[in-house]
Amino acid sequence: MDDLFLDQTENISLCETLDRILNKGAVVVGDVTISVANVDLIYLGLQIIVTSIKSAREIINQTGDANVN
Amino acid sequence: MKVGIPSFLEDKSLRLVMFGGKGGVGKTTCAAATAQHLSQCYPLGSFLLVSTDPAHSLRDVMAGCPPPSNLKIIELNTQECLGRFMSEHCQHLRKIAERGTFLDDEDINQFLDLSLPGLDELLAFLEISKWVEERTYDSIVVDTAPTGHTLRLLNMPEFIQKWLETLDAMLAKYRYMKQLFSGAYRPDGLDKFLTNLSERVGKMAVLLRAPDYSRFVPVTVAEPMSIQETVGLILELESLKIPVTEIVVNQLYPENNCPVCSHWRAHQRAELASMFGKLSGYIVWGVPLYSEEVCHPKALEGFWKNVIDLNIKSLEISVKKNDLSIRVESSLVPPSQQTSLLIFAGKGGVGKTTLACATALQMAQDRPGQEVFLFSTDPAHSLSSCLEFPVGPSPKRICAGLTAMEIDAQAEFDSFKTHYQEELNRFLQSILSNLDLKFDREVMERIMDLSPPGIDEVMALTRAIEFLAGSNYDILILDSAPTGHLIRLLELPEIIDQWLKVFFSLFLKYKRIFRLPEISKQLIQMSKDLKILRSILLDPNRSALYAITILTEMAFQETKDLIAACRRMKINVPVLLLNLATPESNCPFCSVLYRRERQIMDKVRKTFSGLEQTVIYRQGEIQGLEKLGKLGRNLYKTKTEKSQNDYKVKYEANGITELLNGAR
C-alpha cells in the first residue's frame, strides 16, 4: 500500500484545476439571499456559466465534428 | 401418461427459446436437442444455438460432430466480444468522458484500458440483441449459465438503460452550453450512439416479454434443491414478465422393479408433487433418465422422443420410501491443520454445497476449539436449503464451532454505492454551501453505475477475506459458484488490483480538490485484504481447492478445464471427489449406468493419478445437519480412526440393507 503513496509524483495544483474547469466549462446554479443584521434584503437567483472563450468558440463552430463513427 | 410434443419444438414463430435452471440439470442437452430438432424439421430455416455459460459445455454435448447445415453453434467468447465492442465504440466513450467529466485524457485512458470482470451477461445480451435485430437467424436457442447469472442476463435491459442514462447525463452540460452559445443543438454522433444502443436494448426488452416470439423454459431435476431453485426462478421470471409456459423435468427414473430405481422414482414423485403444489398453470414435460449419456447428435435426436406430459393426477405416490445408506469408497485424510482456506469447486449440480457443508460440520466436530467459517458467493444461495437452516448475508452460528454466511454480492455493492453517494453529497455541501454544481453533480453521483456487472462479486470476495484476515476463524470453507464463474472469481484478485491502482492514482492526483476519506479508506482496506487472499491462495499448505465431479463425460471435460486453470494459476488441488456414483446392483438399468460410470472412473483415475480420490455413492437427498454430519463422518478419517471394518454394507439379491453403519 505504501508504494502507492510514494509515487505521488503528479497531483493537480489549484490553478491547474481552475484551468481544467474553464476549459471544460461548468454551470453553477445557486440562490443567495443578502441580508444585513439578519434582515433578508436581496435575493439572487444565479445561473452562472463559467467557461473560457476558447472553449466557447469551439462549441459554437462545432457543427457536428463529433460524428465519430 | 400420454406422450406429447412440447410447443417450443413446433412453434415456428418463436424467435428466442432460452433454457435455464440450476447447474447440472441438463440445460445444455435440452438446448442442443431442441436446436437440432428445429433445424431438422425446418430445413429451409436458419437456426442458432448459443451458450452464455462461461463453462462452455456445448462443444462436449455435440462430441465434435458437425451440426445440421442450417444450424450454427456459437460459444460466446467474452474477450472477443469485448474487443469488438470496444474497437467499435471506444472513441464514443472517450469523447463522452471528455465532455462530461473533469478528467484529463490520461485518466480517461486509464479507465478505458481496465479489464472489466463479469461482462459475460452484458456482452451475451448485446450480441443476441444484434442477431435478433439483424434477423440473421429465424430462431435462436440459448443455453444460459446457471440460475443466478441467468437472472442477471434477463435484468440486462434495466442495467444497460441505467448505464446509458449516466452517459447521457455526461453530455447534458455540453448540450446546454451548445444550446446557449450557438442557439441550437443538433444531435451528433455521440447522441446517435446512445440512442441506437438504447433502441436496440429497448427492442430486445420488448421481444423478451413477447409470449409469441420468445419463451423461457426452466429445466429441473426432481430433487429438492433443484426444485426449490427452479420455483424461485419461475417466480422471479413472472415478476420480470418473461413468458414461461412449460417446465422440463429431466432425468426421471424409469418404471421397473429394481429397489434402487423404485426408491428413486418414489422420491422423485414426492418432490414433483411438492413442486406442483407451489406452481400452477404450467405444462410439465418429463424426460426419462437415459442409460447412455446424451452427448452425441444421434442421442440428441432421441432426447425428446419419449417426453411425457406430467400432471398431478399421474403422480401416484407410493408410501414406502426407505433411505439409502451413505456409502463412501475410501475416506479422505482431513485437511492439514494449517489449511486456512478450502474451496469446493466443480460443475453445477455435482454436489459442491452438500460436500462443503458436510466437510464444515465434520471439521467443526472433529477439531473442538477451532472455528470453521462456511460461506458461499453463489448467487443462487443454496447453503440455507442444504443446511435446512436460515443462513443470511451476515454470519450465523449453526452449531458449535461452525458459522455460515451467504454473501449477497448485489447488496454489498449497493451499500458501497450509497456510502459513496452520501459522502459525495457531504463533500459537495462543504465546498458549495448554497450553490449547486448543476450537471456535474449528477455525473459524479451516477459514476458508480458505470461499473461493470461483475464488480459485485469483487465486493463479495473481499468481504469474505475480512473474515479470513480477522483472527477469530481458523478455517474458511468456500462453496463456490459453478466452474465458469469460479475460474473468473479466482482471476479477480489481479483485476481488482488493477482497479484499485487506478482509483488510488486518481484519489492522489485530485487529493487537494476531491476529498473522499471514507471511500478511500474502504478501498485501502480492500487492497490490504486482497494481498492477504492472494498470499493464502498461492500458498499450497495454507489453501486447497477440492475439485468435485460426477461420472459423466461432460463433467469429466469440465473438471479437466478446471484443474488445468488451477494449475495455471498455481492453486493447489490435492483432492478430487467423484460424487453421485450409481451403486452396483443386478437391475438391468442400474448396471448399464454402473458400467458406463466405471469407464469414466478409470479415465479419471488415469488422468488425475496425482490427486487423492474417493467415490461417494448416490444416496438420498442429504439435507439437514444430522444427515450432513453423517456424510462428513464417512468422508473423512477422524483422528481416532477406528479400523475400516466397522462399516459393513451388504447388498442382498432383492434389496439394499444397511447392515451396520458405525454408529458414532
Interface with B, mutate which of A3, A13, A27 (most B CBs under 10 A): A27
Is position B591 within any domain? Answer: no
What's the pLDDT band for B2 if we cut at 50, 70, 90?
A: low
Q: Take residue B289 and report the three cell numbers written for it.
A: 433418465
Which domain-ending residue is among B315, B333, B350? B315
Question: Which residue from B97, B156, B113 is spatially nearest to B495, judged by alpha carbons?
Answer: B113
The three-state secondary structure class of A46 is strand
Nearest-by-Cβ selection for B188 from A5, A14, A67: A67
Q: Which residue, chain included where needed, has cell 434402487?
A: B260
Residue B35 clears pLDDT 90, i.e. is over it? yes
**Whether residues B220 and B110 fall in one domain:** yes
Is position B605 within any domain? Answer: no
Amino acid found at B421: Q
**Whether residues B290 and B346 fall in one domain:** no
pLDDT for residue B20? 92
Query: Does the beta carbon of B188 lie under 8 angstroms from any beta carbon of chain A?
Result: yes
Does residue B358 contact residue B622 with C-beta atoms inside 8 Å? yes
pLDDT for residue B535? 84
Is position B646 within any domain? Answer: yes
* Cα dihedral across residues B226, B228, B233, B234: positive or negative: positive
Amino acid found at B395: P
Is position B642 within any domain? Answer: yes
Bridge partners (DSSP) of residue B657 are B650
**Whether residues B256 and B346 fall in one domain:** no
CA distance B544 to B573: 6
Does the distance separating the beta carbons of B181 and A56 come in below 8 Å? yes
Which domain-ending residue is among B315, B333, B368? B315
- Note down the domain range covering B448: 341-546+562-567+624-663
Residue A67 clears pLDDT 70, i.e. is over it? no
Lowest-confidence range among A59-68, B143-152, B647-656? B647-656
Asked if the interface predicted TM-score (ipTM) of this complex is over 0.85, the answer is no
What's the pLDDT band for B137 if we cut at 50, 70, 90?
A: very high
Does the distance separating the beta carbons of B501 and A11 come in below 8 Å? no
How many Cβ pairs closer than 8 A exist between chain A and B? Answer: 98
Does residue B546 contact residue B572 with C-beta atoms inside 8 Å? no
Residue B295, Cβ neighbours under 10 Å: how many? 19
CA distance A48 to B572: 61
What's the pLDDT band for A66 if we cut at 50, 70, 90?
A: very low
**Whether residues B167 and B60 fall in one domain:** yes
CA distance B394 to B403: 10
Q: Which residues of A touch B498 (CB under 8 A)?
A: none
**Whether residues B402 and B271 fall in one domain:** no
pLDDT for residue B652? 34
- How far, rounded to the nearest angstrom, does the alpha carbon of residue B52 sit from its chain's CA centroid? 11
**Whether residues B371 and B288 fall in one domain:** no
* Cα dihedral across residues B630, B636, B639, B645: positive or negative: positive
Is position B582 within any domain? Answer: no
**Whether residues B289 and B359 fall in one domain:** no
Q: Take residue B31 and report the three cell numbers written for it.
A: 438446448
The beta strands (E) that lie in B585-632 are given as: 612-617
Strands B341-346 and B475-479: parallel
Residue B651 clears pLDDT 70, i.e. is over it? no
Q: What is the mean pLDDT of residues B198-217?
A: 90
CA distance B423 to B236: 33
Interface with A, mutate which of B508, B520, B529, B530 (most A CBs under 10 A): B508
CA distances to B264, B325, B631, B651 from B260, rounded to whole Å, are 6, 11, 19, 11
Q: Which residue, chain included where needed, has cell 486509464?
A: B110
Is position B611 within any domain? Answer: no
DSSP letters along B167-184, please? HHHHHHHHHHHHHHHHS-
- How far, rounded to the nearest angstrom, does the alpha carbon of residue B172 sit from its chain's CA centroid? 38
- Half-sphere exposure (Cβ direction) of B65: Cα atoms closer than 13 Å: 13
Bridge partners (DSSP) of residue B19 are B143, B217
DSSP letters along B287-317, please? EEPPSS-S-SHHHHHHHTTT-EEE-GGG-PP
Q: Which residues of B touch A5 (CB under 8 A)?
A: 508
Residue A41 clears pLDDT 70, i.e. is over it? yes
CA angle, B634 as apex, B607 and B260 as ends, to 5°? 80
Amino acid found at B526: M
Nearest-by-Cβ selection for B440 from A26, A30, A69: A26
Nearest-by-Cβ selection for B508 from A11, A31, A51: A11
Is position B579 within any domain? Answer: no
End-to-end, the C-alpha distance of chain B in Å comes to: 45
The three-state secondary structure class of B411 is helix
Question: Which residue from B29, B51, B58 is spatially nearest to B120, judged by alpha carbons?
Answer: B51
Does residue B243 contact residue B271 with C-beta atoms inside 8 Å? no
Query: Does the beta carbon of B190 lie under 8 angstroms from any beta carbon of chain A?
Result: yes
CA distance B486 to B344: 10
pLDDT for residue B313? 66
Strands B47-51 and B372-376: unpaired
Q: Which residues of A touch B528 (CB under 8 A)?
A: 1
Bridge partners (DSSP) of residue A35 are A40
Does the distance separating the beta carbons of B524 and A1 come in below 8 Å? yes
Mean pLDDT of chain B: 83
Does residue B15 contact residue B214 with C-beta atoms inside 8 Å? yes
Residue B341 is classified by DSSP as: E
What's the pLDDT band for A63 if we cut at 50, 70, 90?
A: low
Strands B341-346 and B543-550: parallel
Nearest-by-Cβ selection for A27 from B91, B176, B512: B176
Interface with A, mutate which of B94, B98, B102 (most A CBs under 10 A): B102
**Whether residues B310 and B250 fall in one domain:** yes
Amino acid found at B322: N
B157's CB contacts (< 8 A; 6+ apart) are B125, B201, B202, B204, B205, B208
What's the pLDDT band for B317 if we cut at 50, 70, 90?
A: low
**Whether residues B87 and B136 fall in one domain:** yes
Does the distance separating the beta carbons of A11 and B435 come in below 8 Å? no
Which domain-ending residue is among B315, B350, B367? B315
Q: Take residue B561 and report the three cell numbers written for it.
A: 478445464
Does residue B455 contact residue B117 with C-beta atoms inside 8 Å? yes
For A61, the closest chain B residue by CA position comes to B182
- In total, chain A counts a number of residues equal to 69
CA angle, B190 as apex, B186 and B195 as ends, to 5°? 85
Query: Does the beta carbon of B432 lie under 8 angstroms from any beta carbon of chain A?
Result: yes
CA distances to B132, B472, B661 from B140, rounded to whole Å, are 8, 51, 52
Q: What are phi and psi of B34, to 5 degrees?
A: -65, -45
Query: Does the beta carbon of B186 lie under 8 angstroms from any beta carbon of chain A?
Result: yes
pTM of the entire predicted model? 0.77
Does residue B54 contact residue B63 with C-beta atoms inside 8 Å? no
Does the distance separating the beta carbons of A29 and B435 come in below 8 Å? yes
**Whether residues B174 and B259 fall in one domain:** yes
Residue B646 clears pLDDT 50, i.e. is over it? no
CA distance B141 to B48: 6
Does the distance separating the beta carbons of B435 and A28 come in below 8 Å? yes
Q: Which of residues 509-538 of B touch A (CB under 8 A)?
A: 509-513, 524, 527-528
- The predicted-structure confidence for B499-542, as pLDDT tens digits, reads as follows 778 877 777 777 777 778 888 888 888 888 878 888 888 888 88
Interface with B, mutate which of A1, A22, A24 (most B CBs under 10 A): A24
Query: Does the beta carbon of B178 lie under 8 angstroms from any beta carbon of chain A?
Result: yes
DSSP letters along B426-471, please? HHHHHHSSSEEETTHHHHHHHGGGGS-TTHHHHHHHHHHHHHHHST
Bridge partners (DSSP) of residue B310 are B284
pLDDT for residue A10? 58
Q: What percent of chain B has pLDDT over 70?
A: 91
How many structural domains comprise chain B? 2
**Whether residues B659 and B541 fall in one domain:** yes
Does the distance separating the beta carbons of A14 and B188 come in below 8 Å? no
CA distances to A51, B356, B370, B446, B629 from B362, rounded to whole Å, are 68, 10, 12, 47, 6
Query: SS3 helix, strand, coil % of chain A, rounded to 5?
Result: 35, 35, 30
Question: Which residue from B293, B277, B211, B270 is spatially nearest to B246, judged by alpha carbons?
Answer: B211
Amino acid found at B618: R
CATH number, residue B412:
3.40.50.300
Q: Which residue has the higher pLDDT, B214 or B554?
A: B214
CA distance B14 to B43: 16
What's the pLDDT band for B544 if we cut at 50, 70, 90?
A: very high
Is position B207 within any domain? Answer: yes
Q: Take residue B470 and report the three cell numbers written for it.
A: 480477522
**Whether residues B277 and B224 fall in one domain:** yes
Residue B602 clears pLDDT 50, i.e. is over it? yes
Residue A11 clears pLDDT 70, i.e. is over it? no
